Structure 1
Amino acid sequence: MKKYHRFKLRTDRLDENGTCPVIMVITKNRKRQFISLKISVRPEYWDSDNERLIILGNCSDKTEKAENQKRKEVNAKIDDYANRAMVIEYEYERENNTHWTPSQYKEKIKRQPAKGKVEPFLIEHIQTLKETHRYGTANTFYCLHRKLLKFSPDLCNLSFNDVDVNYVERFNQWMEQDGVTSNTREGHIKRLRAIYNRAIKNGQAYKENYPFGRDGFQVYALHRETEKRYLPTEFLEKLKNKKSNNPQNEYARLLFLFSYYCYGMSFKDMAVLKKSNVITYNSGEYIVYKRLKTQDRKSYPISIKITDNIRETLKAITDYKKPIEDYLLPVVTKHKDNFSTLSRHVNVLLAAHNKFLNRLADEFDIKMKLTSYVARHTAAMQLQENHIPEHVISQMLGHKKLETTKIYLDSLDTSVIDEAVKVL
C-alpha cells in the first residue's frame, strides 16, 4: 500500500525557545496539504528518518526521565495521526478510489476518530515492519489482518475496547470451524495479543480491558506438539558423507550442511552474506553477521569460527557455482537495487531450495520432511546432545530470549527417554 503522508519538522520556523513545529504533509501528484499537529520540538531531538522524537535509553537522572516521558507522549500523538492516516489510505485503496485530493484527505483526517481503532493500528504496524525490512513478520500480521476482516466485516469500526475475552474466544471458534489448525490459531491470536500490547504502550488501549493473561484467554492452551524438526544422527551422517547424483540436489545438500556447520544459520542470512562478513582475528577466520530477523539495537553479532568443515563446504559450493558481485555464497543470482526486491528474490530461491531438499530426502531415503529450517533445529539438538549449556546454544543461534532456545530443545530424541525408563 502506497503511503501518502509523512511528518516533517519545519526548521524554517525556529521560535525564540529554539523549537520548531511538527507538521503532517499529505502529498499526491505533486500537490500537498499541511496539517498542524500543534507540537513544537527542539531540532536535535528529532529523528527525520523515523519521523519521531529520539527516545533516550537507560535514563537514570530524574530530569532525563521526565524529558523522555514528554517525548514518548509527543510520539504517541504523532502515532495517533499516523494511525488515522493509514486507515484513510487503506479505505481509499479498498474502495479503489484514485480520484481523491489532498484537501479531501485533510478534511477526512480531521473528522477521523482519534483513538482506539484496531485496524489502523494494525495496518501501520505492518507498514513499519516492511519499512524496517522485516517482510516475513509483516506477512504474518498481514495474514492476521485478512483473518480479522473475514471474521469482522466491520473491522474498520472495531475499537480495542471491543476486543474482550468474548471477542477472542469467538474469533478462535470461528477459525476452528473454518478448519484452521490449533497451532496456526495460536499464532494468529499471539499476534493479536502483540498488537494489543503495543496499543497499550502507545495509549491506544487500556490495561483494564486486557483480554489475555491469567484471567483472560489462555493462548498457550492452543499449542500442540508438532513432528520432530531435527535430523536423527543416521540421516545427518548420510547428508555429511554421501553425495547426490543430481546436481541441483547436491547443491541443496551443500547449502544445508553449510547452514548446519554455521550453527543453523538461516537461508536468508546465508543468502546475503558478503565477503566482508569474513573477518580475521588472531585465533583464525570468522564469519561475523547480524541476523536479519532481529536486526535492531538490542541484537548482537554472531561470530562463527571457520572450521575445516565450513571451509570445505564453502569451497564445494563455490566450485559448483560462482557468487555474483561480492556475495560470499552463490545464492543470489541477480543484482537487486534495494533490499525490498532482494528479499522477494531470496524468498523465491528459498522455495526452490526446499523443493530440492525434499527431492534429496527421497533420493537418500530420509523418512521426514527436509527443509532449510531442519538444519537449524538439527544444529541445536546436536549441541545439546554434546552437553553444550543452553545459554551458550542460545547465543550461538542468535536468540534474544533463552525461552526461544528451549522451544528448539524441548523435543528430546526418544532414545533419551528410552534409556531413562530402564531405571524404573
Structure 2
Amino acid sequence: MSIKPMLNIRSGTGDGRHTLVIQLIRERRRGVIFTPYRLLPEEFDAARRKAVVTCRRKTHLAFIREVNLFLENQRQELGRIVSELEREGRPFTVHDVTSAYRQRYDNRYVHTFFRRQIEDLRKAGALGTANKYKATLVAFEKFAGLRRVDFDSVDENMLLDFERYLRQIPLSPNTVAFYLSNFRAVYNKAQKRGYVTHDRSPFRAVPVHIQKTRKRAVSAEVIRRVATAEFPDSDKLNRARDLFMFSFYTRGMSFVDMAYLRQEDVRDGFVRYRRRKTGQVYTVRIIPEVQTILDRYREQCAPWALPVLLDYGEDGLLHPLVFEGATSDERLRFETKLYLRYKYSLSHYLRSLRSMRRRLDLPVGLSFNVARHSWASLARRQGVPVSIISVGLGHTSEKTTQIYLDELDNSAVDAANETVAGLLKKSGTPWGKNRKK
C-alpha cells in the first residue's frame, strides 16, 4: 500500500493555497483523504512528502510543525488500519482503508463521538444514559457554536469556559456538575479508544464537585399517616400511596427499579432484582406490608409487579405493556416505549404525591427519594449501624460501603428492614431488642 501526502493542485484558491491530501494506492486503485490544511506550493516538499519552513515567524514555524505532526500521526493510523485488515485474512480494497480511516478520524470530533455513543446506548436499551449524553451534547453544541471541536482541542481553558457558560444560563451548581461529569465520561471513553492523542486529562485541573443537597427524610408520623391513608374517590392516589410505601418497605427501592420489577422477581418470600443504576443484584425479604401491595396488583399488572408500565387500551382501561414482536428492531422500539412510559408514570405519580400532601395536610412534600431517605433516617434513629443502612440503600460507590458489603450478611439488612417497618405499628421494637441471635 502506497501512502503519499501531496497537494491537490486542482483545488487551488484565490490566495494560491492548495489542500493537503493523503493519496492511497493499492492494487492500482486510488483513494484520497482530505486533510484540514491548505499550503502554498513552496510550503510543501513533494520529494520528502512533508511541509517545509519558508520564513522564521513563530506562527509559521508552529503551523509547519503542526502539519508535519498531523501527517506523521495519520501515517501511523493508516498503517494500523492496514495491519488490522491484513490480520483479518480477508481481501480488502483501498476503499475499505479510507472508510475505516474516516470513521476513526470523525470520532476524534466531540459531536461525532457523542452521537455514536448515544446511538450505541439506545441500541443497547440504555435509554437513560443515552438521554443524559444527548442533553450534554446539546448544551456543548450551543456553547461551541459553529466550531467543530476535536478532543485534542479540549483543554482546561475550554472546560472552564464551558463551565462558566453553563453557570451563566443560569444552571444550578449540581446541574453544571451533571453536564461536566457526562462530558468527562465520554471524554474518557474517547481517550481509551485512541481518539485523544495525549495522555493528560484536562479534568485533572477542572474537578467536578457535587454539592450536598438538603436531606429529604420525614418523621415516622408522616410515614404512618401516608401508610394508613385511604382515598375512596381516587384510584390514582391509592396507587401513589402504595408505590411510596412499597419503596419505603423495601429499603428505599428506586422508582425505576419498581417500574421494571416483574412478578417473576418475587418468589420464595423474597424480592430479587437488579438495580438499573448500578447493575448490582439485591434481595429483599418480603414483609407482610409488601406482600399486601404485591397481591393487590397481581392480576391487573402481569407480567409487571406494580402499576407503572401500564397504558390505556381501546376500552379505556389500563393494561400492562407486553412485548408482542419477534425482531430485534421491534424489541428496541418496545424498550423505547417502556422507557417513555416509565418517565411519564414518574411525572404522573409525583403529581399524585403532591395532591396527596394537600389532601393529608402534610407539613412536607413527598417523593420516592423521601421514602428512601426516610427509611435511612428512621433506621439510624433506632440505632441501626450505619454500615447496615449503607448496604440496605446500596451505596456501592462509597468506599466505606464497599468494605461492609464484604462483611455483612443480608439477613442483618432484612432484620433492619423489619425494624423500620415496625415503627409504623404500635408494637414496634427498638433495634437489637428481641432480635434473633
Q: In structure 2, what is the Cα distance between the partners aligned to 1:136 and 1:115? A: 22
> Which residue does 1:38 correspond to in 2?
85
The reply to whether residue 169 of structure 1 matches residue 157 of structure 2 is no
Q: In structure 2, what is the Cα distance between the partners aligned to 1:242 and 1:254? A: 10
* Aligned-pair CA distance for 1:109: 6.5
Match of 2:275 among 291, 306, 328: 291
Q: In structure 2, what is the Cα distance between the partners aligned to 1:350 and 1:236? A: 20
The reply to whether residue 303 of structure 1 matches residue 283 of structure 2 is yes
**Equivalent position amino acid for 1:162 in 2:** S
Match of 1:119 among 96, 111, 122: 111
TM-score (norm 2): 0.61
**Equivalent position amino acid for 1:325 in 2:** A
> Which residue does 2:206 correspond to in 1?
217
Q: In structure 1, what is the Cα distance between the partners aligned to 2:171 and 2:285? A: 43
Q: In structure 2, what is the Cα distance between the partners aligned to 1:225 and 1:401? A: 16
Change over 3 Å in CA distance of 1:233–1:324 after alignment to 2? closer
Q: In structure 2, what is the Cα distance between the partners aligned to 1:236 and 1:110? A: 60
> Which residue does 1:134 correspond to in 2?
126
Q: In structure 2, what is the Cα distance between the partners aligned to 1:330 and 1:180? A: 34
Larger radius of gyration: 2
> Which residue does 2:27 correspond to in 1?
none
Match of 1:146 among 99, 113, 138: 138
* Aligned-pair CA distance for 1:142: 0.8
The reply to whether residue 205 of structure 1 matches residue 252 of structure 2 is no
CA contact (8 A) 2:215 2:373 kept: no
Match of 2:321 among 323, 335, 340: 335
Match of 2:255 among 263, 267, 270: 267
* Aligned-pair CA distance for 1:286: 0.5
| SS in structure 2 at match of 1:248 | helix
**Equivalent position amino acid for 1:395 in 2:** V
Q: In structure 1, what is the Cα distance between the partners aligned to 2:197 and 2:102? A: 23
Change over 3 Å in CA distance of 1:201–1:384 after alignment to 2? farther
**Alignment length, in residue pairs?**
296
> Which residue does 1:422 correspond to in 2?
none
| Ranges in structure 1 where 5+ consecutive residues have no aligned partner | 1-34, 43-103, 407-424
CA contact (8 A) 1:165 1:217 kept: yes
Q: In structure 2, what is the Cα distance between the partners aligned to 1:210 and 1:345? A: 38
TM-score (norm 1): 0.62
Q: In structure 1, what is the Cα distance between the partners aligned to 2:396 and 2:88? A: 34
Change over 3 Å in CA distance of 1:306–1:177 after alignment to 2? same
The reply to whether residue 402 of structure 1 matches residue 418 of structure 2 is no
Q: In structure 2, what is the Cα distance between the partners aligned to 1:394 and 1:207? A: 39
| SS in structure 2 at match of 1:289 | strand
Change over 3 Å in CA distance of 1:399–1:124 after alignment to 2? farther
**Equivalent position amino acid for 2:304 in 1:** Y
Q: In structure 2, what is the Cα distance between the partners aligned to 1:332 and 1:111? A: 42
| SS in structure 1 at match of 2:290 | helix
> Which residue does 2:344 correspond to in 1?
348
Q: In structure 2, what is the Cα distance between the partners aligned to 1:179 and 1:140? A: 19
**Equivalent position amino acid for 1:165 in 2:** E
**Equivalent position amino acid for 1:286 in 2:** F
* Aligned-pair CA distance for 1:391: 4.0
The reply to whether residue 366 of structure 1 matches residue 362 of structure 2 is yes
CA contact (8 A) 1:323 1:329 kept: no
| SS in structure 2 at match of 1:323 | helix
Identity %: 26
* Aligned-pair CA distance for 1:105: 12
Match of 2:220 among 233, 238, 247: 233
Change over 3 Å in CA distance of 1:286–1:293 after alignment to 2? same
The reply to whether residue 244 of structure 1 matches residue 231 of structure 2 is yes
Change over 3 Å in CA distance of 1:175–1:226 after alignment to 2? same
* Aligned-pair CA distance for 1:339: 2.3
The reply to whether residue 258 of structure 1 matches residue 238 of structure 2 is no
* Aligned-pair CA distance for 1:134: 2.1
CA contact (8 A) 1:394 1:401 kept: no
* Aligned-pair CA distance for 1:191: 1.2
Q: In structure 2, what is the Cα distance between the partners aligned to 1:404 and 1:345? A: 36
**What does residue range 1-40 of structure 1 map to in structure 2 within 5 Å?**
38=85, 40=87
**Equivalent position amino acid for 2:184 in 1:** R
| SS in structure 1 at match of 2:261 | coil
Q: In structure 1, what is the Cα distance between the partners aligned to 2:96 and 2:142? A: 27
CA contact (8 A) 2:219 2:378 kept: no
* Aligned-pair CA distance for 1:257: 0.2
* Aligned-pair CA distance for 1:267: 1.9
Q: In structure 1, what is the Cα distance between the partners aligned to 2:381 and 2:118? A: 39
CA contact (8 A) 1:164 1:209 kept: no
**Equivalent position amino acid for 1:219 in 2:** V
Change over 3 Å in CA distance of 1:41–1:235 after alignment to 2? farther
**Equivalent position amino acid for 1:38 in 2:** L
Change over 3 Å in CA distance of 1:252–1:105 after alignment to 2? farther
CA contact (8 A) 1:244 1:360 kept: no
* Aligned-pair CA distance for 1:164: 0.9
Change over 3 Å in CA distance of 1:114–1:186 after alignment to 2? closer
Change over 3 Å in CA distance of 1:344–1:174 after alignment to 2? same
Q: RMSD value over aligned CA atoms?
A: 3.1
Residues 109-165 of structure 1, C-alpha deviations (whole Å, 9 max, x = no match): 65563663222222222223222322122211111000001000235x211221111
CA contact (8 A) 2:252 2:393 kept: yes
* Aligned-pair CA distance for 1:189: 0.8
Change over 3 Å in CA distance of 1:324–1:233 after alignment to 2? closer
| SS in structure 1 at match of 2:85 | strand
Q: In structure 2, what is the Cα distance between the partners aligned to 1:230 and 1:248? A: 24
